[in-house]
Amino acid sequence: MSQQANARLLAVVAALLTLNLGVQVVSLVQPAPALAQPRPSEGQSGFITTAEMVNRTNSLLTEISGRISRIESALGRPIDVKVVSMPPVKIEGGLPGASPSPAPIMGDLGADGEPARPATIRITPVGNGK
């Protein structure tokens, strides 16, 4: 390469470096664009403090605990079930402590094999489940 070509190349590099330096200096002088989040509307906070998050968590846990307590109390009481339709059930060997019966064990059967009246079954929980 000739000295004249080297001089031109160095002049172009120097011009680009000067342009780069000028852009950096101008960007330092001008204010940078804001990268912040938009301002929250009235009545809405932008950030949640740790204390507020703990309070929300505690209130949710209290609500869940109340629901579980209501479910446990409902399961602790007897549940009345009205059986409208039930296929014939035959227990091999009969019920424990009862005389063996060849007939199906269920409510009164009509002529069509369906229960003449709905049977009512009362389910009573045994023990406290703990």
Is the whole-model pTM more than 0.75? no
* Residues 38-67 pLDDT 10s: 665 665 666 778 999 999 999 999 999 999
Instruction: Give residue 130's pLDDT.
Output: 47
Q: How far is residue 26 from each of residues 17, 18, 19, 21, measured CA to CA in Å?
A: 14, 12, 11, 9
The answer as to whether 53 is a domain residue is no
Q: Could you tell me the residue range of the domain that residue 73 belongs to?
A: 59-85+106-125
Distance CA 113, CA 110 (A): 5
Burial of residue 76 (CB within 10 Å: 0-12, 13-18, 19+) is exposed
The answer as to whether 12 is a domain residue is no
Number of domains in the chain: 1
CB-based contacts of 97: which residues, under 8 Å, 6+ apart? none
